[in-house]
Amino acid sequence: MPDQSIPQARTATEVSEAAESAGGRGISRRALLGTAGATGLVLGAAGGAVGYTAAPAPATPLTSVGSDRAMFHGKHQPGITEGLQARSHLVAFDLTAGAGRKEAAALLRRWSTTAERLMTGEAAPHDDTDVARDAGPSSLTITFGFGYSFFGKTGLEKQRPSALDPLPDFSSDHLDKARSDGDLWVQIGANDALVAFHALRAIQKDAGGAARIRWQMNGFNRTPGATAHPMTARNLMGQLDGTRNPKPADTDFDRRIFVPSSGEPAWMANGSYAVVRRIRMLLDDWEKLSVPAQEAVIGRRKSNGAPLSGGDETTLMDLEKTDAKGEYVVPLNAHARITRPDKNGGAAMLRRPFSYHDGFDADGTPDAGLLFVCWQADPLRGFVPVQRKLDRGDALSQYIRHEASGLFAVPGGAAKGEYVGQRLLEG
């Protein structure tokens, strides 16, 4: 009997038809890998007969990491409620001289087309670099937002949300203006480094002559599957980061994180506001502390994120619990105590940060820390009150330094056939 594991040969016509049915240039990287393998053909034999050769074995299926896919179209933009990805690029653009509303609309249309294709694992619509040719979507998300300055340059000042007013100054700020703000902001996240870079390069090329890069930052997190079970991410201080994050299952999640469908301005319906902060961690100083001292600064156990008052990571912190000396078990200036929503008038934000490492200073000090990204329906009721309170006495403040900042209005998701921001730019 013939070996049933040997795949059947395919004719040139069959392969051509397969490629044509897949949409010509639109054929996916995954389809390319599994169709004719690009090597299943030989040149026609003498006399015009079609040549045959055994097709290669079917491509190995993508792993779960590669096959995971986020949706571009929807009520909200991607990259907000999805799980943290392993790699990220945050990039801000400024419109070039002479570029206005018309050019911005064309740019967002190009960006949206590119984002939709890349998030499905397809090639960029033009001039694809093939960097991610062999990979699947890898949970790629691409998110777009508008900065305060965008509205003046496009003649849309009347459509600028009041929630986008510049953030107040904080005493912990040591901001580099060149790495802050921007007309347009793009957040790219993926579970594969090449997929993330491929998206970054495509977005940059799409900008063309309409916009230039103002700043760009690279981030990372633990790769999904690297731990025995899903868990809250750790930051570069070794602490679990995001324990008390609002969850989509919470009954008030949408109210806290997204602008309501009836909100103002109308083009921001179902959108959100992203605060972006580059927070340098003074790791040399931090790592000199004993573990108990580090835990006192944060208010939680380093090993499992449990509050110092007892329990596990999800146990509600008992702020009134005292020790044998009558002192609070969770210090008054502990970071976790100060940031509790019930101690900030209910202020809540969805933290979705990435760690970064940009090398070392001349003295060997690591330039590393957190690309802090948080989402809320209104930053004046989310980020600002919490940061003001931290500014007044957070024990963590002497171990971190805020070096860059931005605030961006991120409109709701694009419907099929729309591009992100269309209701603003064509309204």
Give the pLDDT score at 188.
Answer: 98
Residue 246 identity (one-letter amino acid): P
| pLDDT at residue 263 is higher than 70 | yes
Q: Is 58 helix (H, G, I), strand (E, B) or coil?
A: coil
This prediction's pTM: 0.85
Peptide bond connecting 265 to the previous residue in cis, omega within 30 degrees of 0: yes
First to last CA, the chain: 68
Measure the CA–CA gap between 166 and 408, rounded to whole angstroms. Answer: 10
Residue 166 identity (one-letter amino acid): P
Condensed to tens digits (0 to 9), the pLDDT of residues 72-91 reads 999 999 999 999 999 999 99
pLDDT-based confidence at residue 59 (cuts at 50, 70, 90): low
pLDDT-based confidence at residue 60 (cuts at 50, 70, 90): low
Place of tokens 């992203």: 274
Measure the CA–CA gap between 249 and 64, rounded to whole angstroms. Answer: 24
| pLDDT at residue 39 is higher than 80 | no
pLDDT-based confidence at residue 38 (cuts at 50, 70, 90): very low
Q: Give yes or no for a contact between 317 and 336, defined as CB atoms under 8 angstroms apart.
A: yes
Residue 301 identity (one-letter amino acid): R
Contacts of 169 (CB under 8 A, 6+ apart): none
Q: Give yes or no for a contact between 320 and 310, defined as CB atoms under 8 angstroms apart.
A: no
| pLDDT at residue 258 is higher than 70 | yes
| pLDDT at residue 138 is higher than 70 | yes
Measure the CA–CA gap between 343 and 115, rounded to whole angstroms. Answer: 39
pLDDT-based confidence at residue 410 (cuts at 50, 70, 90): very high
Give the pLDDT score at 123.
Answer: 96
Give the pLDDT score at 80.
Answer: 98
Q: How many CB atoms lie within 10 A of CB 136?
A: 25
DSSP collapsed to 3 states, 296-308: HHHCECCCCCCEC
β-pairing verdict for 87-95 and 141-146 = unpaired
Show which residues are catalytic.
241
Please state which of the ranges 146-160, 184-198, 223-237, 400-414 shows the lowest mean pLDDT: 223-237
Q: Which two tokens stand for residue 202?
A: 């495509």
Q: Which two tokens stand for residue 196?
A: 């993330």
Q: Mean pLDDT across the chain, nearest whole number?
A: 88
pLDDT-based confidence at residue 19 (cuts at 50, 70, 90): very low
Question: What does the pLDDT average to over 224-239?
Answer: 93
Rounded to a whole number of angstroms, the CA Rg of the chain reads: 25
pLDDT-based confidence at residue 55 (cuts at 50, 70, 90): low
